[in-house]
Chain A
Amino acid sequence: MTLATPAGPVDGAPVSSGASHGALTALARVGVLFVSALLAACEGELSGGLRRTAPNAPVPVDATTPTTQQPRTIQLPPIPLTDARSAITGDEAVTFARRVAPMLVGRVPSEAELATLSTGGAGLRTVVEAWVKEPGFAEAARDWISVKLKASGTAGGINGDLPGNLAAFLVRNERPHAELLTADRCYDRAGAPTACDTGAPFTAGVLTTRAFLKNTSSRFNLKRARTVVKTFACSDYPMDNTLQPPMPRESLIPLFQVDRATDTSAGTFGNGFACYTCHSQFSAHAQVFVKFDDQGRYQANATGLQDMAAEQGRSTNGLFTSHFTGAAAASEQSQIFGQPVQNLAESARVIASSQLYLECSVRSVAGYVLSLSETEANQLPKPVVEEIVGEALKTAQQPTLASLVVEAFTHPSMVRARRAQVTP
């Protein structure tokens, strides 16, 4: 039996040091870790604060022979975030703030703010905390969501500003960011409540606006489903089965039951995966849109059945075909991330309450401010994004966008982010 020594960062170790690591601090950490490793093994908690040794990790300690002469390696935990923030220099804070201020608040730092920023990490936090209370930040949130959902302006009786209006309202009123997907009403540009425009008997924030639904209408409701998971969970199909369990093959229409032959990489679809791999997940997420037509209007009597006179994926009356057979085709009941839901509103609540949603929001808003593509934003280091969300969750169970932004734009890794250089 081999007991792994901690090979990676160890969270939660009681460390009280400042930015400089004194000898006593090092001693304290080593002592805590060494004992913790042994106790954790006994309690079977290696997966918590400690991690199993990777194949190329330092030589493990044999727990049954503690007096072994094999060398052991102990990894000190990362510097506490508060200390790392304090280590941000005045120059770093000023440079970073000048870079992000126009996108966050629509202006450059004032002379007074520059003086505060020049004090370093603490000053940066003071300034960013003040920024997220400004009207300019609400306008940034409006533009961010408008661009993400490709919704602005008005045409054909559809108000494309509703998603952006909701984002701005939530920021101005310090409402939880989750309400972007769960709000029970829409708002006009000035922030006055107004009915959402789909005619559905439920609301799901920006998802129940005709602007979103019309923009994303497509056969089998595929674009709606994919836009939701890409925009609000930073995921795509096929996704991990632990995140979205596949729907049973026999529940799908024959088209989507087809899968790759076991003896060859060639499938009938030509990409090696045929249909079932992705559509067993698409099906669950698309189903909650089955009663929304191509103009974003709710039609209670939608059947989800294929219109035999139309192209594949289209139902009658501007609606779209369900993935499912039988009575399930017309039902809005489905599941998302493994949880059963009654309709789009419940589906939105599941998404908005997931860790993925908060992490994705951090990636998305960072991408907006730093001019990153969606792919680039999704490549931001996961530990950094997790730490940002973790900090926001310490202050509120349902963080606001403002708190996510404060944590993101004062995080040392973000402040010190560097640009790749052009290679000749």
Chain B
Amino acid sequence: MRLALCHVVRPVVTTALLLLGASCEGMATLVGGQPEPVSAPTPSAPMAAAPVVPPTVLPAPERPEVLLPVERLQLLPFEVRLKRLAAAVELPVTDAVFNTLRSRATDLGAHDFANGVAPDLAWTAGRIATWVEGVLPVCADARVRSRYATWSTSLDIFALKAWGRAATSDDRADVVPAQGLTDAEAWRATCVSLLSSAELLTP
């Protein structure tokens, strides 16, 4: 069966190569899958076969698109959140200033499967409150205070370390001190806000 077919096809291949050569001039004008008419064979190109309709060339297919589900507000794993926090304030993740947060790890969504605790990465009101409690000692730390003495001038550095990008005008507008607060209160309020920002704690 296959042999029989090949006897038929081999001559066809030869013919096809001839036809292909004849149609090259027209084919060469194909760019981006836009076929153009092929010029008719010239008298100098001997073509015994019947007129040929050139193949339509479809453009190169795109690779399949990856469509992800709707973005959900989901926290990073607890250890990753802690690392990002530490990087943002330029302290080692093992520093004692993070002990309050560590002591509340499972409340903050860390897993301990052996003791029946699965990861919970929902950013709930209770978890926000617990996080803020844990961040207060960080914002009270003299090293952090000296590193970011004034938010308006140090926001660029903070944004790069915490968020991996340059600060924007919107960011700067957000750190304008609230009225009625002392400088120290305003600094701490901004510090807590920045270290609890969704951009720091979510992917």
Contacts and interface: CB of A to CB of B under 8 A. Distances in A.
Contacts of B51: 69
B67 A84 contact: no
A42 B111 contact: no
B58 A73 contact: yes
B27 A30 contact: yes
Contacts of A146: 111, 113
A153 B117 CA distance: 9
Contacts of A38: 9, 12-13, 16
A107 interface: yes
B52 interface: yes
A111 interface: yes
Contacts of B118: 150
Contacts of B58: 58, 73-76
Given A35-B13, A151-B113, A153-B114, A420 B56 contact: no
A302 B119 CA distance: 35
B1 to A, nearest CB: 9
Given A23-B28, A153-B114, A371-B72, A66 B87 contact: no
Contacts of A23: 28-31
A43 to B, nearest CB: 8
A26 B30 contact: yes
**Max chain A Cβ within 10 angstroms of own Cβ: one of B12, B17, B29, B51:** B12
Interface string B1-42: 010011011101101110110001001111111000000000
Given A67-B50, A74-B55, A158-B114, A147 B70 contact: no
A69 B114 CA distance: 72
A42 B112 CA distance: 62
A75 B147 CA distance: 60
Contacts of B68: 370, 372, 376, 417-420
B66 interface: yes
Contacts of B162: 108
Interface in A350-390: 370-373, 376, 380-381, 383-384, 387
B177 interface: no
B57 A74 contact: yes
Interface in A1-33: 1, 3, 5, 8-9, 21-24, 26-27, 30-31
Contacts of A376: 68-69
Contacts of A387: 63
B65 A66 contact: no
Given A21-B31, A38-B13, A372 B69 contact: yes
A71 B53 contact: yes
A413 B64 contact: yes
A103 interface: yes
Given A66-B19, A414-B66, A72 B56 contact: yes
Contact of B28 (A27, A67, A107, A152): A27
Interface string A200-231: 00000000000100010000000000000000
B57 to A, nearest CB: 5
A383 B67 contact: no
Interface string A37-58: 0110110100000000000001
A294 interface: no
A147 B162 CA distance: 26
Nearest to B31: A23
Interface string A383-424: 110010000000000000000000000001110111111100
B64 A5 contact: no
B79 A139 contact: yes
A179 interface: no
Interface stretch (A94-102, A169-177, A239-247, A255-263): A94-102
B128 interface: no
Interface residues of A, number: 86
A72 B53 contact: yes
Nearest to B8: A64
Contacts of B17: 35
Contact of B76 (A64, A103, A413): A103
A84 B10 CA distance: 36
Given A102-B203, A160-B114, A417 B12 contact: no
B170 interface: no
B164 interface: yes
B112 A153 contact: yes
A419 B70 contact: yes
Nearest to B78: A143
B56 A106 contact: no
B5 A108 contact: no
A44 B6 CA distance: 10
B115 interface: yes
A339 B173 CA distance: 65
Nearest to B10: A42
Contacts of A72: 53-56
Given A64-B8, A98-B165, A106-B79, A153 B115 contact: yes
Contact of A421 (B32, B70, B161, B203): B70
Contacts of A66: 12, 15-16, 19, 49
17 contacts: A5-B55, A8-B61, A26-B28, A27-B28, A30-B55, A35-B17, A38-B16, A41-B5, A70-B53, A75-B61, A78-B60, A108-B84, A152-B114, A156-B114, A370-B68, A417-B66, A419-B70
Given A34-B16, A66-B15, A380-B66, 7 more contacts: A26-B57, A42-B13, A107-B87, A136-B83, A150-B118, A160-B114, A412-B63
Interface of B: 2, 5-6, 8-10, 12-13, 15-17, 19-20, 24, 27-33, 49-72, 74, 76-77, 79-80, 83-84, 87, 111-115, 117-119, 160-165, 203
Top 3 A-B pairs, shortest CB-CB distance: A108-B164, A153-B114, A381-B64
